[in-house]
A and B are shown apart, each in its own frame.
Chain A
Amino acid sequence: MRYLVRKILSLVVVLFFASIICFLIIHFIPGDPAQAMAGPGVSAEDVEKIRVSMGLDRPLVEQYITWMGDIITKGDFGESLINQEAIGPLMAERFANTLILSFCGIFFAIIIGIPFGIVSAIKQNSFIDLATMGFSILGVSMPIFWISLILILIFSVNLGIFPATGSGTVMHLVLPTIAIGLNSLAVIARMTRSSMLEVLRQDYIRTADAKGMPYSTVILKHALKNAMIPIITTIGIQFGYLLGGAVLTETVFVYPGIGRLLVNSITRRDYTTIQGCMLVITGLFVILNTIIDLLYHYFDPRIKKA
């Protein structure tokens, strides 16, 4: 319980500082923030107008409190500098899309990676083990955007099974899911294998065998539950990478997620939207890491009392 409180406190602190960094983006830009927001070729009066309307003339602390206060109380992230639309609702929609894609990706990586890792471990040095390991070394080395292009080349251009770009149907999700999940799949399979190999050497596995537990129970209950502890951490870290990967995958597949929104906003210098996207992605990343830490504790009873 104390651990939980400490973890959540630490989460709040990190989130607080991360939000300050996101907030300060505009002020980090060399030169006048109002000028940066207005963009080039804008008259001095217009720049001043923006300065007042955006509250840039007020003290930094006050600006931060207003910005963060609006986000927390009203879900109001301000307006886009490009088309003056409210950022909040747009981001909510994009964010939901990214979450769907990320969850599909990690789910894909888990349901394929863990079984292959297990089989690899129990049939060490067999063909399937070498194949899985070969794939996993290759899998982590291939850039996500290249995987995406190859998937499009094979399944859209040549075979015509799945659409190359867009969103809306399940079919649209298939290729992006594979692309975004493949790296993680490789890492999870590898981690599962080494973790299982370590666990299978332990005395308590011999005990389970000596008790006459069926082989499947020994592997899936006695071994896997112990092996899951490091695997869970890996999955958490991978989910974080996945959020980074979303930026690339969404760009290739023209998928309306928050990563693509961020990249587009950067190219258009839409600083208010950039701030919002950064905050949301970082927030999710940090919260996720905390959840993983807590899950870790759920799986390892030894830590609970320590």
Chain B
Amino acid sequence: MEDKNIVLEVEHLKTSFFYGKKEGKAVDDISFKVKKGEILGIVGESGSGKSVTAMSVMKLLGNTKGRVVGGSINFMGRDLLAVSDKEMRQIRGKHIAMVFQEPMTSLNPVLTVGEQIAETIVVHEKVSKKEALARAKELLDTVQIPLAEKRLGEYPHELSGGMRQRVMIAMGLCCNPDLIIADEPTTALDVTIQMQILELFKKLREQYELSIILITHDMGVIAEMTDRVMVMYAGCMAEYGDTATILKNPRHPYTKALMKAIPRLDEKQEYLDAIPGVIPSIFNLPEGCRFHPRCRLATERCRKERPDAFTVDGRTVCCFKAFEEVKESL
């Protein structure tokens, strides 16, 4: 029964970047599910593989040196890794939409806002340009852009950053997709605008029973917005489960560190001061648990072996220390 409710199921996804003979494992064995009407958060520092995961699902790695090297991506019963480029273009925009981090550069500077929304509708649903433009106007109303009619004829450079991100969201919504992947949709925006955009996502989810993958580095946003969350570190899953459970009782040391580092709303920081060190390069990953060089609890075993995932009270964790703690408490 529950299966019908699952929109996206990713299993053991592995994505690597290749420079000459060097392989950089950007995503290494990631599994997660997104249910209908659910918001899944993916959280981690820059370089943890969040965006690469999203781009792998969208199959938008084509222009980069990256490619999916293992696992499966199942979207509404279809294996996305098996579909052709042409089919994928029919899925993108219509069934899965994406909102990017950079509203300033993600809109085409030489096409009007109306054109950019309407062309998407025309491509996916065989409607006339006029009808598409009428729908574009409604969409701008939906994402609460004032003077929608006038905005349709304007170019991106005439809009503020917040407005542009709303346009991006309207563009994502235009074909009533089943899933929206929002990659740091508010990072580039002012704090007040951030709140408005996040509220908008919540409203849209309720209105359309939309499934959303929300990628962020901000535990505050996770707490505010998501039903479930996956914490990623250096291409691996650290902890994955119900947001409420994890926030109440984080098991993985990295999750704990992230929570300590919840940035105040008036600061934009993407690197964690709370934990010493930086995330490793994908071309220079440490042996054993990838988090061990920065983990105060690391033992000899953490340096040598990669921890397996284990499940405890409704969440999955990858950590030897956490496993021991659970065992002791039993």
Question: Which A positions have Cβ atoms within 8 angstroms of B?
Answer: 200-215, 217, 221-222, 225-226, 229, 299-302, 305
Contact (Cβ within 8 A) A203 B110: no
The contact sample of 22 A-B pairs, CB cut-off 8 A, is A201-B63, A202-B105, A203-B106, A204-B105, A204-B109, A205-B63, A206-B63, A207-B100, A207-B108, A207-B168, A208-B108, A210-B58, A210-B98, A210-B100, A211-B123, A212-B91, A212-B124, A214-B123, A221-B119, A225-B110, A226-B109, A302-B109
| Residue in chain A with minimal CB distance to B85 | A215
CB-CB nearest in chain A for B93:
A212
Q: How far is the CA of A104 from the CA of B23 in the complex (A)?
A: 51
The smallest C-beta distance from A209 to any residue of chain B, in angstroms, reads 6
> What band does the interface of chain B fall in when counting residues whose beta carbon is under 8 Å from A?
20 to 34
Chain A residues closer than 8 Å to B98, beta-carbon distance: 210
Q: How far is the CB of B103 from chain A (nearest CB, A)?
A: 9
What does the 1/0 interface line of B100-138 toward A look like (CB < 8 Å)?
A: 101001111111000000011001100000000000000
Closest residue on chain B to residue A305 by CB atoms: B158
Residue of A nearest to B90 (CB): A212
Q: In the docked arrangement, what's the CA distance between A140 and B107, Å? A: 36
Assess whether B108 is in contact with A226, with CB atoms less than 8 Å apart: yes
> A206 contacts which chain B residues (CB < 8 A)?
60, 63, 100, 106
Q: Is the beta-carbon distance between B111 and A210 smaller than 8 angstroms?
A: no
Most buried by B among A202, A206, A229: A206
Tell me which residues across on chain B come within 8 A of A221, comparing CB atoms: 111, 119
Contact A222 B123 (CB under 8 A): no
Interface string of B165-181 (1 = CB under 8 A from A): 00010010000000000
User: What are the nearest 5 A-B pairs in CB distance?
Assistant: A212-B93, A212-B92, A211-B93, A203-B105, A204-B108
> Is B229 interfacial (CB-CB < 8 Å)?
no
Partner of B123, one of A202, A204, A212: A212
Report Cα–Cα, A201/B63, bound state, in Å.
Answer: 8
Min C-beta distance of A216 to chain B, whole Å: 11
User: Using Cβ atoms and an 8 Å threshold, which residues of chain B touch A305?
Assistant: 157-158
Most chain B beta-carbon neighbours within 10 Å: one of A204, A302, A305: A204
Known contacts A206-B60, A207-B100; is-contact A301 B89 (Cβ 8 Å): no
Contacts of A222 in B (CB 8 A): 108, 111
Instruction: Judge if B323 is at the interface, Cβ distance under 8 Å.
Output: no
68-109 of chain B: CB within 8 A of chain A: 85-86, 88-94, 97-98, 100, 102, 105-109
Contact A210 B124 (CB under 8 A): no
CB <8 Å contact, B111 and A225 = yes
Question: Bound complex: CA of A300 vs CA of B108, how far in Å?
Answer: 11
In this complex, what residue of B is CB-closest to A206?
B60
> Once bound together, how far apart are the Cα atoms of A172 and B324, in whole Å?
90
- Other than the known A210-B97, A213-B119, A222-B108, what 11 A-B pairs have Cβ atoms closer than 8 Å? A201-B63, A203-B105, A203-B106, A208-B108, A211-B93, A212-B88, A212-B94, A212-B120, A213-B120, A215-B85, A217-B119
Inter-chain contact A204/B106, CB cutoff 8 Å: yes
| B32 interfacial by beta-carbon distance below 8 Å | no
Whether B90 and A207, one on each chain, are in contact in the complex, defined by CB atoms closer than 8 angstroms, is no
- Cβ contact within 8 Å between B123 and A217: yes
**B100 contacts A203, C-beta separation under 8 Å:** yes
CA distance A201 to B62 in the complex (A): 12
Compute how far the CA of A305 lies from the CA of B156 in the bound complex, rounded to whole angstroms. 12
Q: Give A299 to B111 CA distance when docked, in angstroms.
A: 10
* Contact assessment for A213 and B105 in the assembled complex, using a CB-CB cutoff below 8 Å: no
Residues of chain B within 8 A of A209, CB atoms compared: 60, 62, 89, 92
> Which chain A residues border B92 with CB–CB below 8 Å?
209-212
Residues of A within 8 A of B94 (CB): 212
Assembly CA distance A301 to B157 (angstroms): 8
Q: A210-B97, A211-B92, A212-B92 are in contact. Are A302 and B157 (CB under 8 A)?
A: yes
Which single residue of chain A is at the shortest CB-CB distance from B115?
A221
> Closest residue of chain A to B62, judged by CB?
A209
Which residues of A have CB within 8 Å of B109? 204, 226, 300-302
- CB proximity of A104 to chain B, nearest CB, Å: 29
> How long is the Cα–Cα vector from A69 to B100 in the complex, in angstroms?
62
**Closest chain A CB from B153 CB (angstroms):** 11
What is the minimal beta-carbon distance from A181 to any residue of chain B, in angstroms? Answer: 27
On chain A, the residues within 8 Å of B89 by CB distance are 209, 212-215
Which residues of chain A are within 8 angstroms of B120 by Cβ–Cβ distance? Answer: 211-213
